[in-house]
Amino acid sequence: MTLDRRTFLGTTAAMATTLAAPMVLAQGAGKPRVVVIGGGAGGATAARYIAKDSDGAIDVTLVEPTRTYFTCFFSNLYLGGFKEISDIGHTYGNLAAAGINVLHDWAVDVDRDAKTVTLASGTTLPYDKLILSPGIDFVDGAVEGWSVEAQNAMPHAYKAGSQSELLRAQLEAMPEGGTFAMVAPPNPYRCPPGPYERVSMVAHFMKENNPTAKIIVADPKPQFSKMALFQEGWNKHYPGVIDWIGEEFGGGNVSVDPANMTVTIDGEETQVDVCNVIPAQKAGRIAEMAGVTDGNWAPVNPADMSARSDADVYVLGDAAEQGDMPKSGFSANSQAKVCANAVRGALTGSKVFPAKYSNTCWSLIATDDGVKVGATYEPTEEKIASVDSFISETGEDSALRKATYEESEGWYTGITTDMFG
């Protein structure tokens, strides 16, 4: 990390930046500057709300490498054939039109003393407030035998886009009666029900296209999100197809061999046709480079999502360690609004309202069989704490499940409009 270098270069770097600033940011001269890194559910929402609510009083720059952003939420529905890849792709034109300076670039360094962000193109962005919403990266060596170099043979598809399309192509190419394996991640990870919705969607795809195919899931956890609902749905829609191997049966003792397409679970090697490896996760790397992480995640203050280690840096979404909220797009969107309100208050003196957070996650098990789980949260001294929650029940009638699925589609349109304008 940059601690040493910052200490060493501190004064010089700060002076250099001061001199350079007018050239770099002539456009925003005089206005407070917010830089947002990451254009997903946390970052896009934060940028949009700050720009919208400050009505031009704050200069907002959004740094996001991809020109078309594919949402992880609903990417499983693409795998299952319920959505096209284009349905989950979004561009940033509306945010640009709303006055946000959208830079398609990678942030490669953060100097918190000089309060600058360096981009891969060489541009330096000064900030008054920095918002990091970089999503996840994978923990090196989390699954024996797997690394990102192997992600073409064994895709993670846990950052949506080309990886999702690759996994879908592999499902389509699977031989008749073949085997699909998933290596599920340990807690905490992005989208707790995600791997199990994916198993459902793969099973649905196979039921329609390759009905004798089998699914094996190696899971290091003893239980998982919405477990009773998923297992009920698997027995109902895909009886005998899914073999879930939890912690108790050695599901955490896994290695893979991408060259030979084998998976070894608790000492037993299996030849597979498609292998979806979802490794253990950590905050997107820029959070670590900014020096705001402690272990794998970035601890934040529950009241406003500011980093515990720096009041001028905020961390949103999956990368943040905040307490009880699951790592989800809905959570990130919720946190972004609290953060935007706080940032605006700090920079323009606008009224700051108390934080309220919420989350709802919908999952699709089969055609018209949707379930959901949700909770509301409030900040305490120690963490963002759950105050109320609900979950779909087993045995619900099909009309309610269909309504839940239709509701999830409404939510998708709602949240993506809320993110991208």
Partner 1 sequence: MTVGPRALPFALAAGVLPCVVTATLAEEADPEAGKKVFESCSDCHEVGKGAEHGIGPHLNGLFGRRAATQEGFAYSESFKRAGAGGLEWHADTLDVYLEKPTALVSGTRMSFDGLKDPQQRLDLIAYLRGFSDNPRDIPEADPTSQGTDHDLDPEILALKGDPEYGEYLSGECVACHQTGGANDGIPSIVQWPEEDFVVAMHAYKNKQRNHPVMQMVAGRLSDEEIAALAAYFGQLTKE
Q: Does 303 bind partner 1 (CB under 8 A)?
A: no
What are the tokens at 289? Answer: 């480079």
Nearest approach in angstroms of CB 416 to partner 1 is: 10
Nearer to partner 1, 20 or 403 (CB): 403
Using rule CB under 8 A, residue 374 touches partner 1: yes
CB within 8 Å of 268: residues ≥ 6 apart? none
341 neighbors 352 (Cβ within 8 angstroms): yes
Q: Are 59 and 32 in contact (CB under 8 A)?
A: yes
- 418 lines the binding site for partner 1 (CB under 8 A): yes
Q: Do 130 and 314 contact (CB within 8 A), yes or no?
A: yes
Contact window for partner 1 (CB under 8 A) among 139-147, 187-195, 254-262, 332-340: 332-340
Please pick, from the candidates 130, 337, 347, 371, the single residue that binds partner 1 as defined by CB under 8 A: 337
Q: Which two tokens stand for residue 157?
A: 């598809």
- The pair phi, psi for residue 397, each rounded to 5°, is -75, 165
Cβ partners under 8 Å of residue 55, min gap 6: none
Q: Which is nearer to partner 1, 8 or 353 (CB)?
A: 353
Residue from the set 180, 330, 343, 366 that interacts with partner 1 by CB under 8 A: 330
Identify which of residues 157 and 336 has a Cβ nearer to partner 1 in the complex. Answer: 336
Closest contact distance (angstroms) between CB of 226 and partner 1 is 14
Rounded Cα distance between 165 and 297, Å, is 28
Stretch that binds partner 1, among 8-16, 190-198, 211-219, 375-383 (CB under 8 A): 375-383
- Region near partner 1 per CB under 8 A, out of 60-68, 92-100, 289-297, 407-415: 407-415
Nearer to partner 1, 163 or 341 (CB): 341
What amino acid is encoded at 166 in this protein? L
Residue 394, Cβ density class (10 Å: 0-12 exposed, 13-18 middle, ≥19 buried) = exposed
**Does position 266 bind partner 1 by CB under 8 A?**
no
Q: Does residue 376 touch partner 1 according to CB under 8 A?
A: yes
Residues contacting partner 1: total by CB under 8 A: 37
Give CA–CA dist 291/286, Å, rounded: 9
Which residue, 162 or 360, is less far from partner 1 as judged by CB? Answer: 360
Selected from 10, 177, 222, 410, the binder of partner 1 by CB under 8 A is: 410
Nearer to partner 1, 343 or 415 (CB): 415
Cα–Cα distance measured from residue 111 to residue 124, given in angstroms and rounded to the nearest whole number:
10
Which CB atom, from 164 or from 335, has the smaller least distance to partner 1?
A: 335
Nearer CB in complex with partner 1: 53/109: 53
Tokens 């477990």 appear where?
227
Among 334, 364, 384, 420, binds partner 1 (CB under 8 A): 334
What gap in Å lies between CA 159 and CA 328, rounded to an integer?
13
User: Is position 360 an interface residue for partner 1 (rule: CB under 8 A)?
Assistant: yes
Cβ neighbours around 247 below 10 Å, total: 15
Of residues 110, 112, 75, the one with CA closest to residue 90:
75
Q: Residues near 140 by Cβ (< 8 Å), separated by ≥ 6?
A: 147
Residues 10-69 that bind partner 1 (CB under 8 A): 49, 53
Where does this chain bind partner 1 (CB under 8 A)? 49, 53, 330, 333-334, 337-338, 341, 351, 353, 356, 358, 360, 372, 374-376, 378, 387-390, 399-400, 403-404, 406-411, 413-415, 417-418
